[in-house]
Chains A and B, each alone.
Chain A
Amino acid sequence: MADIVIDRVVKEFGSFQALQEVSLTVNDGEFVALLGPSGCGKTTLLRIIAGLETQTSGRVVIGGQDVSDLAPRKRGLAMVFQNYAVFPHMTVFENVAFGLRMQKAPQAEVKRKVERAAALLHIESYLDRYPAKLSGGQRQRVAVARALAVEPAVLLMDEPLSNLDALLRLEMRTELKAVLREAGTTTIYVTHDQTEAMGLADRIAVMYGGKIEQIGAPLEIYATPATRFVGGFIGSPPMNFIKVRCSHGTARIGDAALPCPTAAENLELGLRGEDASLGPSGSGIPFDVRVVEPMGSHLLLTGAIDGQLARIVAPPTAIVNAGERVGLTVDPARVTWIDGTTGRALARA
């Protein structure tokens, strides 16, 4: 068990700055997801923590020990790779036992720990098989079992579910959460899939352009994004951003008036699709519906507010037709105000 402190880590590839002074603290036993689009630096950060990549400057401290210059094997961590990296020339048993064998653990202990990890991941029945005979999902389980068998202080996972098909991914996600909760290992999990991050993590660090945009609990990040990017990246449909003019602390859109902070010149209203409730035309914010998509659990309405694209989520029973104008009622406490110039969220009015 250990905490992880990432202290102003910078990584440059030639003139390209992959990480710009990233700092992050992960508490003992916590599960933190690094979430961001491809190329945002999340995998680079994970590889620096693992010691597979060397930072240009900054420090990585694991369990109070500065590991910045240590080889991967001396950092007391385990890792699950995107392509699993299950050794093809070893049986499942030997794969899971690999870390323990390197620690020169006695045979009885190896057997006990491998069997426990195998039981945890439900792979006992094929311990003597070779990875070539396993499906992707099974290899994934082997990779996780191999990492958990060494009882690491820190577990790093690099998009471990991205190579699985959708159904299997959902199943593995649920299982991973249960397994990792039981193990209580400090975990850093890299993903570009927001549902994975939201579902698994205690806290999410949203990364973009080599920086951490926001760190917080999943619901906090969802409800109160710190930047325009976070609001647009998290949530499906993404947050709507409507340019408004604010005078004397009120923004007027159609007949609706919302209290707004006046600090910014370029003000945008950040509105989650499900935070608006539908009413008859003439009430609230006018919304011109263009497309209605019944999604089963809800209706997805695409249209325009004040001529700007917006997506609204309506209950599945709502009766809305394309081409109609409806009114939206919005709870002022649930909207986010964005400074259009900096892209940062403003303090709530």
Chain B
Amino acid sequence: MTTSAAELKTTSTNRSMALPSARRLLLWTGLAVLIAWVLVPIYLVALGAFGGRLGVFRWPKSIWPSDLSFAAMSQFLAIEGVFNALVNSLIAAGLTVVFSIALGAPAGYALARYTFRGQNAYRLLVLLTRAFPLAILALPLTVSFIRLGLYDTPFGVSLIHTVLALPFAALVTQSLFMGIPREYEEAAWVFGCTRFQAFMKVVLPLALPGLAATAIFAFVISWNEVFAASILTVRERTLTAYLLRILAESPLHYRFAGGFILIIPSVLFIFAVRRYLFAVWGIASK
């Protein structure tokens, strides 16, 4: 993995050096615009969160905050219920990860390794679950969740988030397993493995980076989801749902602090697994 990433880097630098200077300028301009597109909003949010109460309203904005203060952030974290909501969010996201992998990876494996009747229809159906607007399901879901005793629990929220994450999990793991040659498994069978042993000893280790990326996707989907979390909980809110309610009534610099806290986990996760994401998308070589 490390070497392939390094190779990738060298080949791309070689290529860019070969480009004539005008095209190179264009390339770097494009890169700069794309980076700015992502980083400037995050920076502005951070500026709002750490720039103090007055900094939010200052115009024109200074590049560097005049009075750096963690006051807004610490006050925000001290708001009653924020910590509880954070724990709920982590529970819901964690369960979503477990369920999506446990259900999605076998589905992806089946799609990758076996041909069965209705395979393409199934593949489409998996995606179609995303086409169903959650808003229509909201009321019946709430009623059934109350009956089943799942209402207002992180577990109940995680079930809905699993439904949202599962199509990605199934389709991403499918391409993941397709990228692992069948010959590896066959070799394992010939050399004494049962099908399950071959999966555990050969396929799983090779699929692990991709599975980690799938897990992160599921985590981020659950972490960011706000609609289902808002309607299915009252007291045991997830962080996003909780913030949505309390921030509507908060001063502007609190909102920035809350927004910043919501952004950070996703950015950190994606940064941590960026190499595996490339592997999933087939950019890195095997």
Which residues on A are within 8 Å of B, measured CB to CB?
50-52, 71-73, 77-79, 81-83, 85, 87-89, 98-99, 102-103, 132, 146, 150
| B interface: dominant SS | helix
Q: Nearest chain B CB to A99's CB is how many angstroms away?
A: 4
Cross-interface CB contact of B189 among A72, A82, A88, A103, cutoff 8 Å? A72
CB-CB under 8 A from B30, the residues of chain A are: none
Q: Nearest chain B CB to A329's CB is how many angstroms away?
A: 52
Q: Does B140 contact A (CB under 8 A)?
A: no
Q: Does B62 contact A (CB under 8 A)?
A: no
Q: Are A87 and B190 in contact (CB under 8 A)?
A: no
Cross-interface CB contact of A88 among B190, B193, B197, B206, cutoff 8 Å? B206
Q: Does B183 contact A (CB under 8 A)?
A: yes
CB-CB under 8 A from A51, the residues of chain B are: 189-190
Q: Does B202 contact A (CB under 8 A)?
A: yes
- Tell me the bound Cα distance from A103 to B181 in angstroms: 24
Q: Are B191 and A99 in contact (CB under 8 A)?
A: yes
Q: Nearest chain B CB to A52's CB is how many angstroms away?
A: 5
Q: Does B11 contact A (CB under 8 A)?
A: no
A sample of 23 inter-chain contacts (CB < 8 A) reads A50-B190, A71-B194, A72-B189, A72-B190, A73-B189, A73-B193, A73-B194, A81-B183, A82-B183, A83-B181, A85-B181, A87-B184, A87-B187, A87-B202, A88-B206, A89-B202, A89-B206, A98-B188, A102-B191, A102-B197, A103-B192, A146-B191, A150-B191
Q: A81-B186, A82-B183 are in contact. List 12 more A-B contacts (CB 8 A).
A: A51-B189, A52-B190, A73-B191, A73-B194, A78-B190, A85-B184, A85-B186, A87-B184, A98-B188, A99-B192, A102-B191, A103-B192
- Tell me the bound Cα distance from A79 to B190 in angstroms: 7
Query: What number of B residues sit within 8 Å (CB to CB) of A?
Result: 18
Q: Nearest chain A CB to B252's CB is how many angstroms away?
A: 51
Cross-interface CB contact of A132 among B3, B187, B188, B193, cutoff 8 Å? B3
Given contacts A89-B205, A132-B3, contact A71 B189 (CB under 8 A): yes
Closest 10 CB pairs of A and B: A102-B192, A85-B183, A99-B191, A85-B187, A72-B189, A73-B192, A79-B190, A89-B205, A72-B190, A81-B183
Given contacts A88-B206, A89-B206, contact A98 B191 (CB under 8 A): yes
Q: Are B193 and A52 in contact (CB under 8 A)?
A: no
Given contacts A85-B181, A87-B202, A132-B3, contact A52 B186 (CB under 8 A): yes
CB-CB under 8 A from B202, the residues of chain A are: 87, 89
Q: Nearest chain B CB to A103's CB is how many angstroms away?
A: 6
Query: Chain B: which residue is nearest A130 at the CB level?
Result: B3
Cross-interface CB contact of A78 among B183, B191, B197, B286, cutoff 8 Å? B191
Q: Are A52 and B192 in contact (CB under 8 A)?
A: no
- Tell me the bound Cα distance from A89 to B192 in angstroms: 18
Query: Chain B: which residue is nearest A101 at the CB level?
Result: B192
- Tell me the bound Cα distance from A132 to B285 in angstroms: 11
CB-CB under 8 A from A87, the residues of chain B are: 184, 187-188, 202
Q: Nearest chain A CB to B126's CB is how many angstroms away?
A: 27
Query: Chain B: which residue is nearest A156 at the CB level?
Result: B190
Q: Nearest chain A CB to B196's CB is how many angstroms away?
A: 12
Q: Are A77 and B190 in contact (CB under 8 A)?
A: yes
- Tell me the bound Cα distance from A107 to B191 in angstroms: 17
CB-CB under 8 A from B191, the residues of chain A are: 73, 78, 98-99, 102, 146, 150
Given contacts A85-B183, A85-B184, A87-B184, contact A73 B190 (CB under 8 A): yes
Q: Nearest chain B CB to A47's CB is how many angstroms away?
A: 8
Query: Chain A: which residue is nearest B285 at the CB level?
Result: A132
Give a binary string over B221-234; 1 marks a CB under 8 Å from any A CB, 0 the rest.
Answer: 00000000000000
Q: Nearest chain A CB to B102's CB is how many angstroms away?
A: 23
Q: Are B206 and A81 in contact (CB under 8 A)?
A: no
CB-CB under 8 A from A50, the residues of chain B are: 186, 190
CB-CB under 8 A from B194, the residues of chain A are: 71, 73
CB-CB under 8 A from B193, the residues of chain A are: 73, 102
Query: Chain B: which residue is nearest A52 at the CB level?
Result: B186
Give a binary string over B252-286; 1 marks a CB under 8 Å from any A CB, 0 the rest.
Answer: 00000000000000000000000000000000001
CB-CB under 8 A from A52, the residues of chain B are: 186, 189-190
Query: Chain A: which residue is nearest B206 at the CB level?
Result: A89
- Tell me the bound Cα distance from A248 to B75 in angstroms: 115
